[in-house]
Amino acid sequence: MNHFVMIIFGASGDLTKRKLMPALFTLFSNKRLPEDFSVLGTARTKYSDAEFRDYALKQLRIFVKPEERNEERFRAFCIRLHYITLDPSREESYPRLRDKLESVTGETRPDNLLFYLATPPALYGVIPLHLKAVGLNTPGSRVIVEKPFGSDLASAKALGETYKSVFDEQRIFRIDHFLGKETAQNILAFRFANGIFEPVWNRNYIDYVEVTAVENMGIENRGGFYDAAGALRDMVQNHLIQLVALTAMEPPVLFDADNFRNEIVKVYHSLKPLDEEDLHNHIIRGQYTASGGEKGYREEKGVRPDSRTETFIAMKLFINNWRWSGVPFYIRTGKQMPTKVTEIVIHFKETPYRMFRGESGESYPRGNQLIIRIQPDEGIVLKIGMKVPGTGFKLKQMSMDFSYSQLGNLDIRDSYVRLIEDCIQGDPTLFTRNDAIEASWRFFDPVLNFWKTCPEAPLYGYPAGTWGPKESDILMKGRGAGWTNPCKNLTNNDLYCEL
């Protein structure tokens, strides 16, 4: 195998220091990188090789997990780092990049290359064309692209055509770090490897499904990007709909990249198109306001004072196929929520007859819930009705709780560690295919067009630190329930607060 080089565009940025370098260091420490490897950073920031190594060393000491820190290994890793200052938007910079790669590898035509675009999205369509212009799109090269892949259907199609003209589809890795998390992958194992769950994973036994991905922070100096994107583009069109697909997909014939990704695309194609009623009544968007010492969204740096960009969105959607017909999927995401959590909640139907009572005399039982926690405390909770000890026959809902943290020293890697290793090995299973990108945008495009053409479409304010606009509760009207809101402490036995 030729000398392997990972080229990071945006090497002086936040993603590189917080995620990419620590992930590469973890792979290096575990001897999971090719023996003959280098990392070439590039950005507009001026560094020599030695200065970039010093910079990287300082960041590793901060962002690598304490239990993995080792000064000797840090320095051994940093020796493999190189740097070139260039403007990635200018084609005339790329011959110098090619020359630098030849110098690093000692090869006249380096081929084992992995390009990582940790740059603003505006450069996603530019960099591949410049790489092609200097012949760096070699047969052995691959490219990793961060989200968002396009800002609507038209731009996603145009971007897809650009990449198609430079790289074969199997060499394009559109990364979604949610799919690198063990619990996201465990949804598939949980469903398809356990005979007691798959038979009830359908409209006959499931009442509705919630998918939540919220954060207890604002936009963190990303005002320029976020105000042009919003929650739908930043989270819903990629992360949340991926989790819906993992929950709803049919079992693949074989668990390989093509069959797995085929089933994901089938879910997207089965989404019930949004009609006029859906656009008005099944979508709630909000924007956080100042509260408890926290800024309001419009007071954030880089945000327009009259911005109507959503920082919260809740939606009700349906999947029109045999398994899920009539089962609503409720999805939501938001900034400045009370806690940070990503989870899927499966609400099973209640028993056909209620013969018991709860502790307070209410009719019982409620429907069982299966909670799959993606982050921060990765695990699974099954809520079941159990008799309260003592006289009488009253029931209480109890939790059977499994957490990955209970497995002690088992290696639960950061999602970027898993995904970068998959890219190096050329395994595209956990990466989004172009037809899935277009199918997702085709579903969400009407929402963006509705907001654009209907300025009177409501945008509700919600105080920072709350669970979003109260109007989002109306989505579950008729279900006799509200959103499942985790408590701030996700590690105690009373995991979920009543709404």
Task: Give Cβ neighbours of residue 293 (< 8 Å, ≥ 6 apart).
Answer: none
Strand partners, 341: 214
Is residue 408 classed exposed, middle or buried when 0-12, 13-18 and 19+ CB atoms within 10 A define those classes?
Answer: exposed
**Got the DSSP string for 344-388?**
EEEEEPPPSS--EEETTS-EEPPPPEEEEEEESS-EEEEEEEEEP
Catalytic choice (239, 269, 280, 282): 239
Residue 160 to residues 241, 268, 270, Cα–Cα distance (Å): 19, 18, 22
116: nearest Cα among 232, 23, 228:
23
Helix spans in 232-316 (H): 241-248, 257-270, 276-281
What are residue 331's phi and psi, to 5 degrees?
A: -125, 145
Helix spans in 66-216 (H): 71-78, 94-105, 127-133, 153-164, 182-192
Verify whether residue 239 is a known catalytic residue.
yes
Strand partners, 461: 287
According to DSSP, the β-strands at 356-358 and 485-486 are: unpaired
109: nearest Cα among 83, 136, 130, 131:
136
CA distance 370 to 399: 10
Q: In this structure, is the dihedral angle defined by the CA atoms of residues 476, 477, 483 and 484, taken in order, positive or negative?
A: negative
According to DSSP, the β-strands at 283-289 and 460-463 are: parallel
Q: Are 153 and 111 in contact (CB under 8 A)?
A: no
Q: Are 146 and 117 in contact (CB under 8 A)?
A: yes
Catalytic residues: 239
